[in-house]
Structure 1
């Protein structure tokens, strides 16, 4: 399987495609690619029995696709945990390293890493880590963009994307923060939130708000 197909499986997994339909627009925003490219790749995943597509509804993973995605995500996120916790990498810097390492990691090695790290349940950017049997705590799939003005939510996780993580670091948005959603600006404008602990008001861009998940 090509790295690009694996990236699609992982992003559909991250966006909740194990339980619901994910739109082409969501995938395109998260991967920062054209919607036409998504349509072409989704067709290939469907042909290989990894995904199913319902016109005007979206894409979800098949059982085969879910299991493949869980294996990829487990290796990737365990390496991210190791890089941040043991080698003190900055959060925006771990994705590209983990992307390489996951493809050369045997089941024996990932099992050993998992035990060495104390069986972590979540990676540094908040995503759940499936265990060897595919068990994990289901992530929230409610994006900041989907929240309503006045909602009081906690920042739970970020999509694993280097540019996104750099941007969120620059605006000082952090996992675990309790925030109030102040307003959604029209015409794909930012979502403004207020951090409860500090009163700081942060405008989060339209694209970033679709890749930040809250509960």
Structure 2
């Protein structure tokens, strides 16, 4: 089955910050689109609110709206949330189906580091290999529409692909649905990626990210910035 027809499992998190090595999970959303690019069947959505076990900085709360107090009162233990999220993702990968995430290296790396921190078994330990296939519209857009002006955020990208920008952006489940819609539009616009199988597309993204990272780091250094952009994907 082509990856465009296989079930897509969209994935997004909201967290305590932007450092994948140190920051913690606050919310997670998984949205299953059974028909892949065909969105005629209703999505199946599941969300989690976790108590990360640490203070949530005010800057993070301003982005996703979850305070430390709310997470402690309403959230479930983070170890339970992590295990359930990881189990669902791993089951999907084991069936050969794609997990879809915008800027996947952030979400996958952060959750994987959290799994290790809490002794729950990393994706590699659970799968016996690296997480794959992963489909990341950010990586694809950088490769396929490289010279388009403007930011490469989900909010900026959605209108480019004819996807309505939700007023509830930065709510994990809303961002996931938007990401799936953007990916479907990309597959229609760029038939060459739609013609690939899941393994070929994953390999294409690995190479595309590496090329972008090397070029972007060179550009930053040419501007006098001591930058390091990880060439590795889907984990940075």
Tell me the TM-score range normalised by the shorter chain: 0.3 to 0.5
> What TM-score do you get using the length of structure 2 for normalisation?
0.30
Report 1 or 2 for greater relative contact order, CA contacts < 8 Å, sequence distance ≥ 6: 2
